Amino acid sequence: MPEPQSYKNHTRFDPLVHFTTMPLLLINLILSIVETVRHWPHDPILHLWWIVMSLVFILMNMAARMAALRAQNRVIRLEEKIRMATLFTPEELVELESLTMQQLIALRFASNPELLGLARRAVREKLEPKQIKEAIVSWRPDYDRV
The residue type found at 67 is A
**Cα-to-chain-centroid distance, residue 124:** 25
pTM of the model: 0.83
CB contact at 8 A, 119 and 113: no
For residue 72, give the H/E element and its range. Answer: helix 44-87
Mean pLDDT, the chain cut into blocks of 10 residues (146 residues total) = 80 90 98 96 94 98 96 96 97 96 97 97 97 96 84
Residue 2: per-residue pLDDT: 67
Residue 9: per-residue pLDDT: 83
Residue 11: per-residue pLDDT: 84
CB contact at 8 A, 110 and 77: no
CA angle 15, 138, 104 (to 5 degrees): 65
Domain ranges of the chain: 13-135
By CB atoms closer than 10 A (0-12, 13-18, 19+), residue 115 is: buried
